[in-house]
Each structure stands twice: as C-alpha cells, then as structure tokens.
C-alpha cells in the first residue's frame, strides 16, 4: 500500500480547495482501508467548505473533500469482519 495519496483539502472555511499529498492511514482495529479509485465532490462537500455545518456536524478543518468514493479494499485491520469482503475486492 502506498504511504501517500492526493486529496482535495480545505484549510479554512470558504477558502479554495487545494490538491495536496496526504498520508494514507493504516486501518484501525476492526476497520478497513480503501484505496480510492474515484471520488466526487458533491453538495455536502460544498456546504462543508462554506462552514454551513459548523456546530451542527462534527466537521473539523482541514477538511478532506469527496466522501462518495469507488475503490478497493487495500488493508484489513486486526479484528475486522471480513466474512463478506476480502482485500483487493472492488
């Protein structure tokens, strides 16, 4: 698994998004890491960038945009239930 990826990031509300190199997290116990092939920026991301969810949803800055993704399981954390999914599955 690679150590970094590209991400669309907003550092301040209403600021332009930046494409930056971002660290790929290792899966926590019971979780999976997904290698993202495609991610879209949707209306929820636009509202988050504007700060319209501040105090309502637990959104913290810097904000990585693009929560609608297509990808493959890249890593499996200890104790993850993989009975219905395997590493490399699309």
Q: Which of 2, 47, 67, 89 is catalytic?
A: 47
Phi-psi label, residue 31: left if phi above 0, alpha if psi -120 to 50, beta otherwise: beta
Q: Which of 2, 4, 44, 89 is catalytic?
A: 44
Catalytic: 47?
yes
Structure-block tokens of residue 30? 């019971």
Catalytic: 33?
no
Q: Name the residue among 39, 2, 42 with its Cα closest to residue 22.
A: 2
Positions marked active-site: 44, 47
């Amino acid at each position: 698994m690679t150590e970094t990826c590209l991400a669309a990031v907003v550092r301040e509300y209403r600021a332009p998004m930046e494409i930056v190199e971002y660290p790929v997290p290792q899966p926590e116990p019971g979780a999976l890491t997904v290698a993202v092939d495609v991610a879209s920026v949707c209306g929820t991301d636009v509202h988050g960038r504007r700060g319209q969810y501040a105090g309502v949803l637990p959104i913290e800055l810097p904000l990585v945009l693009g929560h609608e993704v297509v990808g493959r399981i890249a890593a499996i954390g200890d104790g993850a239930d993989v009975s219905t999914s395997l590493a490399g599955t699309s």
